[in-house]
Structure 1
């Protein structure tokens, strides 16, 4: 390892999160130090310890690695702590279980020196040793989650969750990463793609071998897989709310509109008022999904949770709660008007018996208009709360109980 007493001179930090990795930590540190010595890179090996009780800290210190104690538990918490305490301009992170190749990090360094903000390893291109990755992860979990991540965010990488990756320290700090669990791996990629301007993300092949531990890994397949998927959906509100909402709303609205004029036959199957009831429910569900998108987007952008585009800012600047209230009121009045017309028609029959199907055929559009109008009114009030200008809290403000 190229040594230096001045932290500002370091080019590279090799960061390893650690929780009871005494079995494999030494070999990982020695491999990382060997790479630094052979390459002549001014760097350090940093162990972000997550509360080990097996002597991992002493092993690292004995070998000359620097140890930083992460105050919170969790994979993401350990890496956030390491990123905050790293001295290198660039950071390459990898698990301390001897599954990643710390001896061949030059491709990561070359891409970082060339200006990449984030360099991902790709285990599927570099090679996965027999037994290194469970079949559930290799053939289902990683391909599915990587495919969803590519569809939602377009990072143009094939291994969304590779734990060996390099990045520009300051650029990643600017992302203000927050998640403390395994979904930290997804957050780094997602926020890099959502940043404006978008971060430069590149990919290099890397290998994965069976880890050297005798105990099971910290990763819990279904639990952590769901947390990754949930994170991807939360950061892709169009896929979570808009696209399914639009499909449901228009399918329901079109069906209600057609059946309002009478039943139809398609391929010998009749569709009438019963179909109208379910179609109206589908329409309401879709509309609610779209309203949730709007409110989610307002809140997330107000809190800097999601970035904003010029188009979105233009729409928000032209939208007011009062306009929403007028639209909602108009829909509600249309619904009420249809209902009043039905009552007047009933009165013309001296309030006598009516054909049940025809009554329902008119009542459904009336109820639909009132429901959509009321939802729009409530959404407009809520959006007004979210967009109310407020003064930033003073740093010295004290809240007394």
Structure 2
């Protein structure tokens, strides 16, 4: 950009007439006092209270973002920003835009993303509801650190700075409040230089309720964290279930086991078999989810996972699936043979149900693996092959045009 500046102070805006002028004045005073070549940019998301006119009168640049949503407004603002660095923050006067020195210093030192930490900087009385302060933010931030191994202590701080080019490379996609989590997650997975500085949070200056909805937006953040971590959503629970099922099943396969006054028999063996089936299916979902997310840019590619996924070819999966199904069929034949040896009469349920459960578990698991292998391979079809297929199969309108040309 020929007219690129060093810093853009970006504020998403939806009906912030009460506080917008104050925020812009603080941001402009920071640019003036620090001598930074910059701009104040307002990403207006459809305000109807005169916010746009207030922003323009206060000397800010306003860009209209038609698609509604916090993430959509920020994405449009980042795209329109002329600054090499961008510092974004809410336009409700809860953050002090006149004190951004720590963010600028970290960005100039090479950081790709600089997060504010309200818990380290201080939260004014009444600035954050107790449910957010003591439950929502700590829990979601802890899950984010656990899932993605990031050092960030405040995942949802609205005041943050970043290199514009670095964030654009992340190809952020969400349009709602989860945009804040997506930025941190993708920056961490892409091994960006992510840092944190203490930030003070003041009580906002609005008389109306905030746009944030505690349970709705909290669930959206949690859903995003789970969907972007197939390991924690599918793989680890699947491995745990598979391990429990195999261990318990191996112990109970020879016969019932009695511990103290409790007897574990065929019913527990059946539960173990179900754990194996569900565990295998969960692991299959983890492989499919990771392959899809990595291939289409939702999660940055990983050499380790890519090598593992490439080793799981359709042919290898089908081979294991067929072996499982043959094992299950053989166990089923053996069970029927045992029944035939008794002239198809009454049988001991505890004894005869074991081979039947074992047989059906192997058959179902093999069938699941086969279907999952085909699904995973469909996702793995190279893009150029899909395009060739699309070219080879004309649409209905193209076919009508060709028929008209022939006539």
TM range (shorter): over 0.9
130, 149, 156: which one aligns with 2:125: 130
Paired with 2:106 and 2:276, the residues of 1 have a C-alpha distance of 50
TM-score (norm. length: structure 2): 0.94
2:89 is the counterpart of 1:94: yes
Q: Which residue of 1 aligns with 2:370?
A: 377
**256-265 or 122-131, which moves further after superposition?**
256-265
Q: Which residue of 2 aligns with 1:3?
A: none
Deviations 1:147-193 (A, max 9, x none): 00011112211111000000000100110111110000000000001
2:246 is the counterpart of 1:267: no
2:339 is the counterpart of 1:339: no
**91-100 or 313-322, which moves further after superposition?**
313-322
| 3-state SS, counterpart of residue 195 of structure 2 | strand
Q: Which residue of 2 aligns with 1:84?
A: 79
TM-score (norm. length: structure 1): 0.95
Q: Which residue of 1 aligns with 2:321?
A: 328
Deviations 1:103-159 (A, max 9, x none): 110000000000000000000111100000000000000000000001111221111
Matches within 5 A, 1:2-401: 8-195=3-190, 198-391=191-384, 393=387, 401=397
| 3-state SS, counterpart of residue 181 of structure 1 | coil
How far 1:9 moved relative to its partner? Answer: 4.2
- Count of aligned residue pairs for this structure pair: 393
Is the CA contact 1:7–1:88 (under 8 Å) kept in the aligned structure 2?
no
| 3-state SS, counterpart of residue 8 of structure 1 | coil
Name structure 1 gaps, 5 residues minimum. Answer: 1-5
Is the CA contact 1:9–1:42 (under 8 Å) kept in the aligned structure 2?
no
Is the CA contact 2:287–2:309 (under 8 Å) kept in the aligned structure 1?
no
Paired with 1:174 and 1:311, the residues of 2 have a C-alpha distance of 21
C-alpha RMSD of matched pairs (Å)? 1.6
How far 1:389 moved relative to its partner? Answer: 3.1
